[in-house]
Amino acid sequence: MFSSDSIETFLAVIDHGSFSAAARVLRRVPSAVSMAIANLEAELGYPLFVRAARQVRPTPKALALVPHARVIAEQLEQLAAHATELSDGLETRLAIGIAADIDNARLMHAISAVSARHPLLAIEITTAPQDDVVERLQSGRVDLCIAYGGLETSLREDFHFIGTETLVAVVSAQHGSELLAVESLKLDDLFHHRQILIASTEHPIRDFRQLIAGSYWRTDSLATAVNMVKAGLGWGNLPLSVATPLARDGSVRILPFSNVANGLKLPLHLRWMRHNPPGKAGQELVALLKDA
C-alpha cells in the first residue's frame, strides 16, 4: 500500500497543491503523479484529494495521514543517510567509558553534537571507577574511554590529551567534622581521618595519587561519594566543578590548607586500543573533545 515512493509522491502533492507542481519537484510527468495517487486511493478505498481544474485539495482523511507520513519520510531519509554512512566507515555502535570521578559535562556536549550528525548511531555510555573503565577498554567492551592520564603508558593503547580535572578535598559542613575545628589545617592531617574514595570494588587500587588517608571506604559512584561526604562519613576528593556548587549551598566545605593549595590537577586522556582505532563517529568525538 504505502511505499517510500508513494509517501514521497503523496507529500509532494500535499505540499505543492497540484499534480503538475508535484511532478516538477519530483522530476516526473504530471500523468505519472496523478496515476500514482489514483492507485494509492484505489488501494485505500477512499479519495485523498478533491480534483479541481488546476489544483487539488486534500480530503480530511488525507490530512489525518499527513503527520504520520512526514514522520515515516523523515525516518526513511535518516535510514538512507545512515546506510550510506555505514559504507563510509561509520561504526554500528559507539561504546564510551568515563571514569566515575570525572565531570562528564564536556563528554555529554560532544556526544550531543555527534548524535545530531548521526541520529541512528547507537551510543552506549558506561560510568565506572577508573580501573574498571580501563579494564573494559582493554577487553573490548568499550571503544573509547576518558580516564586520568596514567603514571605508566601501554604500547597497546593510544590517547589524546583533552584537558585536566582538578580534585579538591571536601568535608561535610553540616556534621561537625574534626577537620573543621583545626586552626591551621595541613594536608598531612587528612591521613588521620577516613577518606571516601571513588575506586573499583573489584580490582586493587593501582593509582595512589588520590589516596591520602590511612583508612578509607570505597564506592564506585560519584553521586554516592557526594552523599557519603555530605552525610559526614568521611572526607573526599571531588571534582572542583562538582564541589563548588555544593560549597556554595553550604552542604560541604572545601578544606583550606596552610601548607599547600587544595587542588590535585590531573590530566584527562581520551584512550583507545591501537588494534581498534576510532571509526568515523569516534574520530569526530575525539576532535570535538580536543577542541573543547
Determine contact, residues 180/190, Cβ cutoff 8 Å: no
Query: Coil, strand, or helix at residue 81?
Result: helix
82 compared with 146, residue with greater pLDDT: 146
Instruction: Dump pLDDT digits (tens) for 206-253.
Output: 878 888 998 999 999 999 999 999 999 999 999 999 999 999 999 999
State residue 82's pLDDT score.
65
The mean pLDDT value of the chain amounts to 89
What confidence score (pLDDT) does residue 86 get? 65
Find the farthest-apart pair of alpha carbons in the chain and give their distance in angstroms, rounded: 92
Report pTM: 0.69
Torsion angle of C-alpha atoms 82, 85, 89, 92, degrees rounded to 10: -10
Burial of 44 (0-12, 13-18, 19+ CB in 10 A): middle
Look at residues 131, 126, 171, 158 and name the one whose alpha carbon lies nearest to residue 147.
131
Q: Name all domains of the chain by residue range, CATH numbers in brackets.
A: 4-87 (1.10.10.10), 96-292 (3.40.190.290)
Give the pLDDT confidence of 210-221 residue by residue, as tens digits: 889 989 999 999
Give the dihedral of Cα atoms 197, 201, 206, 209; nearest 10 deg.
Answer: 0
